[in-house]
Structure 1
Amino acid sequence: MTAIVNIKTGEFSFSVQGSIEVVELNTPEGYMAVEDPPEPNMYYQDGWVAMPDQPSPHFIFDYSIKQWIDPRSLDEIKAQKWAEIKSQRDRLEFGGFEFDGGIYDSDQVSQGRIMGAAVAGVDQVWTLKNNATVLLTAAQLQQLYQALQLHIAEVHARGRAARQAIYEADTREKVDAVTL
C-alpha cells in the first residue's frame, strides 16, 4: 500500500494499492506518495512522525503547527463544563449520604421512601446502602429525612457556586479550574 499525504501539512489522506502508474494517477496536485505509516496517528515530515497523545476528545490535530488544539469557543467550553458539573452533582445527590454513622441510599426511589417513612410516624427497620439494617424510631426517621434534605441542599449549593464560577470565567483556564 502507498499513502497519499498533503505536501504542506504531512496529513495522511488515503491509501492506494497498485502499480506505480496507478499510484501516480491517484496522487492529486499538492500531495505525494510515500510508504504507509507504520502505525496510526502519524503525520509525514521527512518520514513518519508519531502525534503526541490527544489531550481530550475535544482536541483536533492541527497538521500545519503539528499540535493538538481545542477548537471550541469559550461559550462551548463553559457549556461542556456545566454539563460535567451537573453530572457530578447528580452522582453526589443520588450516591448516598451519611446519617448517624450509617450510609443511606439517596437515589430518587430512596428519597421517596425516606419521605414516606418520615411522614408515617412509625418505627421501622431500615436497610442501609451496604444492606445492613437498623431500627429507626419515628423521630429518627424524621431526622433521617432532614439529613437527606440537608445533603441535597448542600450538593445543589455547591452546584450553584460552580455554575456561577463558570459563568464568570473569562478564560479556558478559569473554566477548567472550576470544581464541584
Structure 2
Amino acid sequence: MIVGFSVARKGRVLPYSRGYRKTPKLDMGLLPKKRRRSPLDPRVYLRAVMVAAAAGLVLLQLLPDSAIAVRQIVQSDECRIVSVTDGDTVRIWCPSRGVQKVRLLGFDTPEVFSSSCLSELARGTAATWYLRYVLLTSSETTIVLQGSDRYQRRLAQVFVDGKRLSTLMINAGHARPYSGGKRSEWCG
C-alpha cells in the first residue's frame, strides 16, 4: 500500500494520497459555503423582476384605496371610506367607532375571494375596480349606516354625488339588485 508518492507532469510535481479524489468531509458545525452567482447570470435579474412584480401587485391595490381615503374630506362626525375589499364590501373609518367592514346595500357583485369559476373572478375584479373608479371620481360621498348583517359587517347605503351607488353599479353592468336572502350564481 503506497500512501504518498509524487507524479511528475510537465515539470510539476503533484502530491498523491489515498483520499485525493474523495470530497472532504463537512465540518458538522459549519454550513457549506454557498456559491455566489455572477451579476451576469440571468437568474439574478429574473428574481429581481419577480420581486418587483409582486411588490407592484401589492401597491396596485393600496394606491387607489389610499387616494380614495385622502380625497374624502374628514368632518368631525362623518364616516369615510378608506379601502375597497370587493365590489360590494368596503372598509370605513368613523371618528367614534374606528375602522369597520361594511356591506353596501342594494346590490350584489361577483365574489373575488371565494369565486366559483374563473369568469366570476374576472367579473368580481372588474366590479371592484369600477367601485374604486366611482369613488375616486366622485366629488361627494355620503354613507348612511343601517345595522349589521350575519357576518357582523355593518350595512350601509352609499350615495355618490347625490345618486345611489347601487344604481350606478347595476346600470354599469357590474352588479345585480339584491335585498338580502340567497344570492344568485354568477357562473354559467
Q: TM-score, normalised on structure 1?
A: 0.31
Rg larger for? 2
Decide which structure has greater helix share.
1
